[in-house]
Amino acid sequence: GVSLAWQGGSPPLATSCTCRGALVVRTRERNRPASGPMASDAAQLRAAFTKFDTNLSGAISLEDFVDVMTRTGRDCRPTSREQAVALFQRFDTNGSGVVNLHQFVRAWSSRSCCSPSAGPRVSRSPSLGELENMYKAPETIWEELDVRDGLVLPPVRLLKSSWLIARAEKVKAASSVAERRALALPRRQELEARHPEAFYTCEEVKALKRGSDLAGKPLSVLSVSHCWESAEHPDPQGTTLVKLCDAMRHAMTTAVTNGDYTWEKLPGELAVFFDYGSLYQKSPSGEPRTADEHAAFKAALARMQVWYAHQLTTCFFMTTAVDAASMPYLERGWPTFEYHVSMLAKAWTSSGWPQLFDVGRGVDKLFTRNPPLSTASLRELLETKAFASGADRDLVAFLYQKTAVTTIQGAALLKFNSSGWGPEQLMQFIDQWLPHCEKLEAISFASNPIGPEGAAMLCDSLRLGHCPLAEALNFFNNQIGDEGLVHVA
């Protein structure tokens, strides 16, 4: 592993890098080609890359990078997790969540990843303007369903809702625990081998019904956030599968109504992201994934936030515990992350179908959307949650931070309509986010009872110079009255 931190006291014509594993890379400035490192240096950098790429997948994930960078051993100079995450962001030049050999060599040879005197430099995510579209464009979803550069297998497969519902009916009809276990959802590998009809192709997902233009034309893609009952299988008796399918059918046939507003029903056919069937898994006996499967899994894990934060996906949160002995949904690390990252970017509007559902409360009830947590607040919250692997805590904190920077701080338009926010929730959002929204041009809190107090808070924030590019505020059905209009004026 490589610490990749510049040392002081270097000779005038050379710079040096101290590396883990007693590997030292010295790149002389004199006679060095502008396009990259010298051949010998490139060979050494390739060797350094393998220190991180422990599974030889051709890509370094955040958790692998942090693990190596914080490890203590012979000739090692361990860094902190925060420094390791910051340095990884410098390497991850396209924001994909993984670093390939080309990025690794290019970043090092250009020295863009280091500070000449103070080690790794913390910065915002690269190419903020370009990355903002990642959570709006359907192409982001298509990329996850196709084979990408450096991969042999697609990172993600989506399941047909009709196939899942038919499977759930068989589970319901089972007369014994053994029969239910035999009908539990198989992992992706078994589904591909025995039930290929369970999956949509990427082209078939593209052809599914889209939502209303007024709602941004959401996709018929449903992302499921749920708890794993055991390390071997998340749902060994099909209990979660049955609850999920009952909820899907109800949401397909019954519209959500709240006050004067009625939302559309979910489409009759959905492409479902359910991790056990959508991602490659280890075998129940613990046998590892193949190299190609592992590479696809790592690529999917590095962009797991996409399925929940993307503005065109719909999310089901399976918040009800399977039984009294199960750890509650919001005490678990991954579900907590999935729940909160979903709050960041969804363009909430009554012009289409709801895109967030708390299945535990009932899919006929409008979801109560809280103000998105700041990155610091989310990290604090994660410290109190349970993870099977400690490295996952850093991974999800990193994914949340990257998503928040691009979807809120980098957004030109934000919509938090019909979220049930009063002045207190609005103030929480203003305090945590508006000072950082330098690209924001329009914001809507329509149909939230913020009243004149909320209008005053928002206008006071803008008077302080927050959101310097803001041109449009939507106060529709905010009950701000004459007093609120005075503040707006």
DSSP string for residues in 120-168: E---PPSSHHHHHGGGT-THHHHHHHSPPTT-SS-S--EEEHHHHHHHH
pLDDT band at 106 (very low <50, low <70, confident <90, very high): low
**Average pLDDT of the residues of the chain:** 83
Residue 401 lies in a domain: no
Check residue 47 and give its pLDDT.
Answer: 63
Tell me, what's the pLDDT at 7?
37
| pLDDT value at 1 more than 60 | no
Name residues whose C-beta falls within 8 Å of residue 391's C-beta, 6 or more positions apart in sequence.
63, 66, 67
Does the residue 441 lie in any domain? yes
Residues 111 and 139 in one domain: no
Report the pLDDT value the prediction gives residue 97, as an integer from 0 to 100. Answer: 73
Q: Answer yes or no: is 47 within a domain.
A: yes
Of 123, 154, 173, the position where a domain reaches its end is 123
Has residue 365 got a pLDDT over 80? Answer: yes
Clarify whether residues 288 and 141 are in a common domain.
Answer: yes
Q: Is residue 395 part of a domain?
A: no
Q: How confident is the model at residue 96 (pLDDT cuts 50, 70, 90)?
A: low
Residue 78 has pLDDT above 80, yes or no: no
Residues 431-474: tens digit of each pLDDT: 999 999 999 999 999 989 999 999 999 999 999 999 999 999 99
Task: Decide: 192 and 199 in contact? Cβ < 8 Å.
Answer: yes
> Is residue 220 included in any domain, yes or no?
yes
- Mark whether 221 and 329 lie in a shared domain: yes
- Who's near 468: CB < 8 A, 6+ residues apart? 438
Task: Quote the pLDDT of residue 33.
Answer: 41
pLDDT: which is higher, 56 or 438 = 438
Q: Do 180 and 117 belong to one domain? A: no
Examine the domain organization and report whether 355 and 315 are in the same domain. yes
Please give the C-alpha separations between residue 163 and each of 70, 102, 185, 281, 336, in angstroms, as whole numbers.
44, 41, 11, 20, 28
- On whether both 153 and 296 belong to a single domain, the answer is yes
Q: Which residue has the higher pLDDT, 97 or 44?
A: 97
144 and 117 both lie in a single domain: no
Percentage of residues in the chain having pLDDT higher than 70: 78
Question: Where in the sequence is the domain holding 370, given as residue range(s)?
Answer: 132-388
Same domain, 104 and 252: no
Local confidence band at 122 (pLDDT 50, 70, 90 cut-offs): very low
Position 396 in a domain: no
Do residues 421 and 340 both lie within one domain? no
Considering the domain architecture, whether residues 54 and 97 belong to the same structural domain is answered as yes
d(CA 308, CA 221) in angstroms, rounded, equals 10
Checking if the pLDDT of 267 tops 60, the result is yes
* Predicted confidence (pLDDT) per residue in 395-432, tens digit: 999 999 999 999 999 899 998 988 889 999 999 999 99
- We report the CATH number of the domain holding residue 37 as 1.10.238.10
Does residue 20 surpass a pLDDT of 90? no
- Other Cβ atoms less than 10 A from the Cβ of 133: the count is 12
| Predicted confidence band of residue 102 (pLDDT cuts 50, 70, 90) | low
How many folded domains does the chain comprise? 3
Q: What is the CATH number of the domain that holds 478?
A: 3.80.10.10
Residues 196 and 161 in one domain: yes
**Residue 426, in any domain of the structure:** yes
The pTM (predicted TM-score) of the whole model is 0.76
Residue that terminates a domain, selected from 99, 123, 147: 123
- If asked whether residues 227 and 327 sit together in one domain, one would say yes
Instruction: Spell out the residues 6+ positions from residue 364 whose beta carbon is closer than 8 angstroms to its own.
Output: 250, 254, 256
Task: Examine residue 39 and state whether it is found in any structural domain, yes or no.
Answer: yes
Sign, CA torsion 102/106/109/112: negative
Q: Is 392 exposed, middle or buried (0-12, 13-18, 19+ CB in 10 A)?
A: middle
